[in-house]
Structure 1
Amino acid sequence: MTKKKKKSRIYIIWIVNLCLITAVVAFFVWYESVPDVSPEKVLKTYMAHISNREYEQMYEMIDAGISGNISQEDFMKRNSAIYEGIGVDNIKIHITSYDKEQKEICYETSMDTVAGNVTFENNVSFIQEKGTYKLVWSDSLIFPELDSTDKVKVSVTNAERGQILDRNGRVLAGKGVASSVGVVPGKLENRDDAISQLADLLEMKVEDIERKLSAKWVKEDSFVPLKTIPKVDELKLLSLEPDKETLDEKERHEKLLEIPGVKISDIGIREYPLGEAAAHLVGYVQNVTAEDLEEHDGEGYTSNSVIGKSGMEGLFEKELKGQNGCSITIVDSNGNKKKIIVSTIVENGKDIKLTIDSNLQKELYEQFKDDKSCSVAMNQYTGEVLALVSTPSYDNNDFIRGMSSEKWNALNEDENKPMYNRFRQVWCPGSTFKPIIAAIGLTTGAIDPDEDYGNEGLSWQKDSSWGSYYVTTLHAYEPVILKNALIYSDNIYFAKAALKIGENDMESSLTKLGFNDVLPFDIKMAKSQFSNTEKIEKEVQLADSGYGQGQILVNPLHMACMYSAFCNEGNMIKPYLTYKEDAMPDVWIKEAFTKDVAQTVLEDTKEVINNSHGTGYAAHRTDIILAGKTGTAEIKASKDDTTGTELGWFSVFTTDKNMERPIMIVSMVEDVKGRGGSGYVVKKDSQVLEKWFSGN
């Protein structure tokens, strides 16, 4: 074969192959461009439109004539009402068989609804029109048992929210009864005057009442709720000396009922019996917002739900809320139940029992309610937190009954910050920090408890490098040893002790005690710190840290945990808030101090309370041995500031592990300058302890 013929043959083969390839590609392009009009494909497409709420596209896929001449409007209305009413989502089908002759598909459907997952078997017929398949639609395509005159009903049984209880089973948050005040518009006389009276009595704006009365649904004989107010406590009225609040509420109810058209009825609400005394601890619930529904999608919330917004209500929301019961039912035209499609049983919320003692919580609040303060109380041997109080406070019941914008603004604009939760914050501890420094010094070996540091008078500086800065103290005494330094609360001694410890050991020791770390507790607390930076920067800062000044900031509960080590052979106890029977201590920091060190500091802090020269002697008792430490922290803009305020502290605790009700209280009060300093706090806590030891 010549080269010319051979080349020609190769060329022909190449052309043929190219044609074949072109033909194959063209076939696949054509094949892909032809719609899949099989009944299976049509059914799957139809079901996909349901999930996407594309009812118009669904209608285009049915043969309206054979499907009962249903109009597009009626079709869309029927399907949207049912599918959206039951909250259909994640719809899936599995085709089990296809009868080509009858053009009928049998399939299984699975879908999520507001009442749970639904699965059922169904079938659908098709007709072929101009090369395409269309569904023969009837109501049974939605549910097999559904007829055109039937309705699909969704019934919801609301879960009862769990209660929040104290350690003795007393209610901190639970079911209560209030008075719902409303109006029947057609019975109002002198409408403008009546609305003005209502606005005054209910602390509402006239325009807000008008807006409620002019809602589209309101008719002349409608009952229009305006506001929920406290129910008059009949038992308090029957007492020998009813309190002013109860009498005022009774008078308000009477004046409201004098207005023609006004009705007052009982209504179930969430109630907080301790009110202001535990508002920062317990928190409150509110109606869900659109943002809440989006954030908690799929968790069972509806537009009528409430959700915990703060405190224990927010912390234990999942446990408290429960799960609503729900059923989807087909009912006939007479309202008779025909078929239960799916049903879930209501699960009421769980009760949460706390370690809190209501009486102690109330007593601490009553003592400090007019102050800017915070108090924590705990069983120093078990870690059970007995009280968490922040003052001034607010009434969390107001969030349930309805709070006026004026009251909300007043709360937020109050310079004393009643909404501010002080027990979660960190504060300059002042001299209450000295026992911690003593324990660190003894543990590191920097302090010899019997070494006499010498009487320096009432002011001292290390050397001239400190310039004009001096550490000052209030009392001169001898010998200047650790026990006396704690009794007299000597700043100079502890400044010297801090310098002996040194910044490296101070930082490492405080880090070991949980500084700059998260407190292991149910409620998130601010972290205690020893510096505004990562380290103690200057010698003067180190000296000031020795007596709880400088840049030392401590959370009150953290302070209580550190003090607990003095009662537990050097181990710091972990605090907790959820009640447990037969509570056993859980150690947070093992061997924070040695057993001997803890015992030494314990004995010295007993002297602070029981020695007549001790700064805490006002809390001394003859029946029970207490220990503790006072503290007055100066809050200044600068070293030369003479206008700064003072924080008053008192940490006090029982020392007998075997006593029936051991307790430790740490209280802090702002602005005690000119009011007795820490002595003001000692007096208040002593009254609390008196009630506690008497069993009240």
Structure 2
Amino acid sequence: MSRIVALLLLSFCVACSAVQPQPTPTAEPPPPPATATPRPVAPEDVATAFLNGWQQGSYDAMYDLLSADAQLQTTHDVFVRRYSNIHSGIGETKLVAQATGPSQPSATGVGVDVPFTVTRTLTLFGDVSENNTLPLVQDEGAWKVDWSPSLIFSGLSAVNTVRVTSDDAKRGRVLDRSGTPFADNGAIVSIGVVPANIKDDQALLSGLSDALGIPADQIKQRYQGGQPTWFMPIADRPESDRPDLEQKIGSIAGVALQDTPARVYPLGDVVAHVIGYVTHPTADELRQLSAQGYEESDWVGRTGIEATAEAQLAGSKGGAIQIVDQAGRVQRTVVQKAAVDGQDVKLTLDSRIQTEAVSALGDKTGSVVVMDPRDNSVLALVSRPSFDPNQFVVGLSDQQWQDLNGDAHPLQLRATESAYPTGSIFKVVTMAAGLEQGVTTPTETFDCGSDWTGLPGVTLHNWQAQGKLDLREALTESCNPAFYELGLRLDHADPNVLPTFARTFGLGAPTRIGGVHEVAGTVPDPAWKQQQVGEAWTSGDSVNLAIGQGYLLATPLQMANAYAALARGGSLMAPSIVSPTAVQSIGVLKLSDTTHAAILAGMQRVTSTPAGTAYYAFKDEKLPIAAKTGSAENENPDAHAWFVGFTPPQKPTLLVLVMVEGGQHGGTVAAPVARDLIDFASSLDR
């Protein structure tokens, strides 16, 4: 536009100079002043200016290039509004309009036509190109655009409109390993008011307020601005609430219940942390998500599989851009795209085992991990307390949101997002390090009395006096002095040996499970302590680490994965929760057959001999089980209770880990939960 204006202004100035008075002649007249012949503005230049203005959204500048007749037919406001509305309405993120050739005489015999191509980048449809011609006419000696709505879209007229339709894609389901839905597409109950049907305003407000727990003034605000015959939504509730709602408010004049399509979670809080939940996008989020085709009525995954598999689950919308006449009849389809439904996501979880794990853990706070060591698939991943993802779909009250963010942390997936001291279940790592480093043997005898005084001026305690035990028996009975001694010997050899062995078991790093969020935990070593605590490493740190205390922190999934590697004989693999997932090897324990056999021997006695720490929980158990219990001291008064075991010991097909926060004793609190699960899972046809 600026170039055109400059040329027109120059023409005006030259015309003015032509009527100036001639200078007075002199004896030697000066040469005549140079005169400039204005270069006529070519129609191609006007076309380029018009198309550039379109690209830049400069609708005012475009309107200035219209002929007088065109401006008479279409006012400035109508012109700008039509371009603006179509631009936003079709989801246009970019437009490129370019002339594709020189002007040609118009077929009408008046003016010229300049061919051009416009390519629009649309949120829903991608790039859409259209060829058209731009008519120009002479208007008071200048080329002007003979504009009509058909320059926006071919076939568009003053009385036709552009209609955009959108076809939603069906969101994919989240399924367990056998196809049982964890997340599905169903319906919720929308409770609303039809103002024209109200007979007793106070009775309606009182009844709805009591049934929904919403103040009466808020209910009235939600329906009083609507048309008399409109359904004015007040609240949503799960479909399971319908019978109760019909009984309480179904007979109140003016109240109406409608089914609304929505995301549903059939198992409620049983697998909530893994599956996650969806909500509608906020206005702020739509500023970014709209570029991906999302609208305010769409569902967006927030946590868990719903979030990490969003692209796969969401699919892609379809729709059309059409030109329709005043009766709504389609005159032209500019572009059309079929919706592509989202893909189902199948998990390795077994809904039967997951449900049983929740039941077995009961109201205890903690985690359960069940795995198949053969392929490292996760069969159950439980965290308690939990939440009902259906509540996010229907909407949370302020109090519900406060409760979810309270001290109990029900939104946290403890199995992967909480790291704890491991206590005695770490002792298999210490035993492996001691045997592989040659600082002990399986048959070495240790004095497992009440106290250990191996550090100068320090007395450390055993949980009970056990007498003389060899290393395998020390693991079975969880003798602290034996492992204090191993920690000290390893420290004298090299303070980094035990931390290094812990890392080979996968501790201190994410397990790479995928699908859910996880923390790395902490494996302390001399460099870590100096950097994080500002103090030098001591032998006491190695001794503490040897029994899974001190600065060591690990997630329940990390410990389950470490034991799964031990169960397989040394292959450390990433756990899988999404099926199918290729087996991913991430390390090797490098244990000798002697070391592996010694550890298994000690673990098998945990459940099979009276001295074993889980013997009474597994008394009369027919399945052979290799296990380890633990009680981990922490910042709270009560120790955390751990149990981990797998069966059968030589060729394991099932591994169960249970961690109960503040449970105190692994053998009496965590082990019974694990036995229930082992018996149940072993009875299934998997």
> Which bin holds the TM-score, normalised by the shorter protein?
0.7 to 0.9
The answer to whether the 8 A contact 2:605-2:612 is kept is yes
For 2:285 and 2:364, locate their aligned partners in 1 and report how far apart those are by CA, in whole Å: 35
CA separation of 1:489/1:398 partners in 2, compared to 1, >3 Å: closer, same or farther? same
CA shift at 1:175, angstroms?
1.1
Unaligned runs of 5+ in 1: 1-26, 233-245, 637-642
Structure 1 contact 383–574 (Cα < 8 Å) conserved: yes
CA distance in 2, matches of 1:200, 1:63: 66
After superposition, the Cα gap between the structure-2 partners of 1:86 and 1:392, relative to the gap in structure 1 and judged at 3 Å, is: same
CA contact (8 A) 1:573 1:588 kept: yes
Letter in structure 2 aligned against 1:153: R
CA distance in 1, matches of 2:586, 2:436: 18
2:264 maps to 1:254: no
Match of residue 542 from structure 1: 542
Partner deviation per Cα, 1:295-349 (whole Å, 9 max, x = no partner): 4453221222221000110010111000000211111222221111011111110
Pick one of 331, 337, 347 that aligns with 1:344: 337
Q: 2:45 aligns with which of 41, 44, 54?
A: 41
User: 1:354-433 maps to which residues of 2 (within 5 A)?
Assistant: 354-413=347-406, 415-424=407-416, 425-433=418-426
Check 1:131–1:472 CA distance in 2 against 1; reply closer, same or farther (3 A cut): farther
Q: Is the 8 A contact 1:429 1:633 kept in 2?
A: yes
Per-residue deviation, 1:125: 1.7
- 1:642-657 correspondence runs (5 A): 644-655=637-648
2:11 aligns with: none
User: Following TM superposition, by how much is the alpha carbon of 1:176 offset from its aligned partner in structure 2, in angstroms?
Assistant: 1.8
Match of 1:103 in 2: 112
Q: SS of 1:341's equivalent?
A: strand
TM-score (structure 1 length as normaliser): 0.86
Q: Which residue, 79, 82, 86 being the options, matches 2:86?
A: 82
- 1:185 matched to 2:195? The reply is yes
Structure 2: distance between partners of 1:386 and 1:533: 37
1:609 aligned partner, one-letter code = T
Residue equivalent to 1:479: 468
Q: Deviations over 1:215-256 (max 9, x none)?
A: 4xx111111111221224xxxxxxxxxxxxx7xx63332111
Secondary structure at the aligned position of 1:416 is classed as coil
Q: What SS does the aligned partner of 1:667 have?
A: strand
Q: 2:128 aligns to what?
A: 118
| Structure 1 residues 276-291: aligned runs within 5 Å | 276-291=269-284
Letter in 1 for 2:507: F
1:223 match? 231
- 1:198-597, aligned counterparts within 5 Å? 198-215=208-225, 218-232=226-240, 250-296=243-289, 298-413=291-406, 415-424=407-416, 425-455=418-448, 457-464=449-456, 467=457, 469-502=458-491, 503-522=495-514, 523-531=516-524, 534-535=527-528, 537-580=537-580, 585-597=583-595
- Paired with 2:487 and 2:432, the residues of 1 have a C-alpha distance of 11
SS of residue in 2 equivalent to 1:565 = helix
Q: Which residue of 1 aligns with 2:660?
A: 669
Cα offset, 1:182, TM superposition: 0.9
1:66-88 per-position Cα deviation (integer Å, ceiling 9, x unaligned): 45521122222322222321122
Alignment CA distance shift 1:521-1:105 (3 Å)? same
Matches of 2:298 and 2:45, distance apart in 1: 41
- TM-score, normalization by structure 2: 0.87
Which residue number corresponds to residue 8 of structure 2? Answer: none
The change in CA–CA distance for 1:383 and 1:621 in structure 2 (over 3 A counts) is farther
Identity %: 27
Using the alignment, how far apart are the partners of 1:532 and 1:259 within structure 2? 69
Looking at structure 2, the residues matched to 397 and 189 of structure 1 have their Cα atoms a distance apart, in angstroms, of 33
Match of 2:76 among 67, 72, 81: 72
**Contact 2:630 2:642 (C-alpha < 8 Å) held by counterparts:** yes
Mark the CA change 1:151 to 1:667 in structure 2 (over 3 Å): closer, same or farther: same
| Change beyond 3 A, Cα 1:591–1:177 | same
Aligned-residue offset at 1:584:
7.2
Match of 1:77, SS state, is helix
Please identify, of 189-198 and 167-176, the stretch whose mean Cα deviation from structure 2 is larger.
Answer: 189-198
Determine whether 1:694 maps to 2:683. Answer: yes
Does the 8 Å contact 1:176/1:269 carry over to 2? yes
1:129 CA drift (Å): 4.2
CA distance in 2, matches of 1:56, 1:527: 58
CA 1:507/1:176 → structure 2, altered by over 3 Å: closer, same or farther?
A: same
Q: Distance in 2 between matches of 1:657 and 1:322?
A: 45
Which position in structure 1 is the counterpart of 2:23?
none
Residue 65 of structure 1 aligns to a residue whose secondary structure is helix
Residues 473, 287 of structure 1: alpha-carbon distance in 2 compared, 3 angstrom cutoff? same
User: Cα gap change, 1:417/1:528 in structure 2, threshold over 3 Å: closer, same or farther?
Assistant: closer
Contact 2:568–2:651 (8 Å) recurs in 1: no
- Paired with 2:298 and 2:51, the residues of 1 have a C-alpha distance of 31
- Is 1:684–2:673 an aligned residue pair? yes
Change in CA separation of 1:532 and 1:417 when aligned onto 2, cut-off 3 Å: farther
CA pair 307-534 structure 1, distance change in 2 beyond 3 A? farther
Question: Quick check: 1:59–1:72 contact (8 Å CA) kept in 2?
Answer: yes
Residue of structure 2 equivalent to 1:9: none
- The equivalent of 1:625 in structure 2 is 624
Question: Displacement, 1:603?
Answer: 2.1
Task: Establish whether residue 144 from structure 1 lines up as the match of residue 144 from structure 2.
Answer: no
Q: What is the Cα deviation at residue 36 of structure 1? A: 9.7
Structure 1 pair 663–207 and aligned structure 2 pair: CA distance change class (3 A): farther
Distance, in Å, in 2 between the alignment partners of 1:657 and 1:543 is 31
One-letter code aligned to 1:212: R
Supply the AA of the counterpart residue of 2:400.
Answer: K
CA distance 1:411–1:88, shift in 2 (3 Å): closer
Mean CA deviation greater in 166-175 or 40-49: 40-49
Aligned counterparts of 2:159 and 2:101: Cα–Cα separation in 1: 30
Contact kept, 8 Å, 1:569 with 1:596, in 2: the verdict is no
Change (3 A) 1:648 1:445: same
CA distance in 1, matches of 2:575, 2:45: 62
The one-letter code matched in structure 1 to 2:291 is G
Does structure 2 retain, via aligned residues, the 8 Å contact 1:627–1:652? yes
Summarize the Cα distance change of 1:586–1:92 in structure 2 as closer, same or farther, 3 Å threshold.
closer
* 2:58 equivalent to 1:54: yes
Q: Which amino acid aligns with 2:656?
A: I
Residue in structure 1 matched with residue 179 of structure 2 by the alignment:
169
Cα shift at 1:453: 2.3
2:339 is paired with a residue of what secondary structure?
coil
8 Å contact from structure 1 (residues 532, 551) kept in 2: no
Report the alpha carbon displacement of residue 383 of structure 1 after superposing the two structures with TM.
0.6
* Residue 438 of structure 1, CA deviation: 1.0
Q: 2:658, 2:670 within 8 Å by CA — same for their partners in 1? A: yes
Q: Which amino acid aligns with 2:150?
A: S
Quote the offset at 1:173 in angstroms. Answer: 0.4
For the structure 1 residues 332 and 68, does the alpha-carbon distance in structure 2 shift closer, same or farther, using more than 3 Å as the test?
A: farther
